[in-house]
Structure 1
Amino acid sequence: MITVTSVEAQNRFGQLLDTVQREPVTITRHGRTAAFIVSSEAYQMLLGRLPESPNMAAYLDAITAFRGSGKQGATADLLADRAAERARGE
Structure 2
Amino acid sequence: MNSTTLVTYSARDAKTRFGEVLDEALGRPVGITRHERLTAYVVSKRDFESLR
TM-score grouping bracket, smaller chain normalisation? 0.7 to 0.9
Structure 1: gaps of 5 or more residues: 48-90
1:22 to 19, 27, 32: 27
User: In terms of Rg, which structure is larger?
Assistant: 1
C-alpha separation in 2, matches of 1:38 and 1:3: 12
CA displacement 1:18-68 (0-9 Å, x = unmatched)? 110111100000011110000000000000xxxxxxxxxxxxxxxxxxxxx
Amino acid at match of 2:18: F
1 or 2, which has the higher helix percentage? 1
1:38 to 29, 39, 43: 43
RCO higher in structure (CA 8 A, sep ≥6): 2
1 or 2, which has the higher strand percentage? 2
Query: Which 4+ residue blocks in structure 1 deviate beyond 4 angstroms?
Result: none
Q: Which TM-score applies when normalising by structure 1?
A: 0.51
Q: Which TM-score applies when normalising by structure 2?
A: 0.86
- How many residues matched? 47
What's the RMSD between the two structures over aligned residues? 0.6
